Amino acid sequence: ALLDGHRVTGHRSKSTHPDVSERTLIAVKPDGVQRRLVGQIIQRFEQRGFKLVGLKMLQVSEDLLSQHYCQLRMKPFYPSLQQYMTSGPVVAMVWEGHNVVQTSRMMVGHTNPVEAQTGTVRGDFGIHVSRNVVHASDSLEGAKREIQLWFQGKELLNWDCCDQTITCE
Ligand code: ADP
């Protein structure tokens, strides 16, 4: 079966891996990009064993931001949040893996860097609640909504790891 061409081409259906189909949106915010933290943040998610299935750099529009933060639009800090999030490019990613939503929130840490534990992204790199380096979806429902908002279906790629598909010729 391992020599079966269908296996090698890597188009196995998601149902083959029902336990790892959970996905989340992680975005390196403009301060994270400007401070050259993109690589270190990606490295943490790779090292943790998660799978990158979508990645792009974009200038966030006010429209995308207001949909993304629809629950915060009435907050007094929203205008400054909008200014911050549109002040430069963002690197948006979709990561996949078992319990990736909850685990990512732990890896990213508390919203306010002063309360974020050392070892978390915000605990290690965050300066202030208004410059907290990274976004991570906070629930399964939130992740689904945000991924649909930020990515088109065709921008998300399914792939298999070479150590499972390698064959002897
Ligand atoms: P999280 O990003 O941890 O899910 P929230 O959804 O509560 O947190 O807030 C979204 C973002 O809004 C935060 O990551 C932060 O950038 C910004 N923010 C939240 N609270 C404040 C605040 N009091 N002042 C300035 N910015 C804030």
17 is catalytic: no
Q: And the tokens for 5?
A: 């061409």
Q: Is residue 46 within 8 Å of residue 136, measured between CB atoms?
A: no
Contact 123, 107 (CB under 8 A): no
The single-letter code of the amino acid at 124 is D
Q: What is residue 14's predicted lDDT score, i.e. its pLDDT?
A: 47
What's the average model confidence in pLDDT over 26-32?
98
* pLDDT at residue number 21: 82
Model confidence over 80-106: pLDDT tens digits? 999 999 999 999 999 999 999 999 999
Res 168: pLDDT: 73
Amino acid identity for residue 44 in this structure:
R
Q: How far is the CA of 111 from the centre of ligand 1 (A)?
A: 6
| C-alpha 148 to ligand 1 mean position (Å) | 21
Residue nearest ligand 1's atom 3 by CA = 111
ipTM of the complex: 0.98
Closest CA to 95 of 87, 103, 84, 106: 103
pLDDT digits (tens, 9 = 90+) for 6-22: 343 444 444 454 444 89
Residue 169 has pLDDT above 90, yes or no: no
Residue 145: Cβ-neighbour burial (10 angstroms; 0-12, 13-18, 19+): middle
Give the DSSP H/E element, type plus range, for residue 34.
Answer: helix 30-34
Ligand 1 binding site (Cβ under 6 Å of any ligand atom): 72, 77, 81, 111, 129-130, 132, 135, 138
CA nearest 132: which of 122, 120, 118, 123? 122
Per-residue CA distances from 114 to 75, 128, 149, 163 (Å):
21, 7, 30, 41
Give the distance (Å) from ligand 1 centre to CA of residue 41.
Answer: 19
pLDDT tens string 107-166: 999 999 999 999 999 999 999 999 999 999 999 999 999 999 999 999 999 999 888 777
What pLDDT, on a 0 to 100 scale, did the predictor assign at position 11?
45
Residue 4 has a pLDDT of 35
Residue whose CA is at the smallest distance from ligand 1 atom 1? 111
- What atom of ligand 1 comes closest to residue 84's alpha carbon? 16
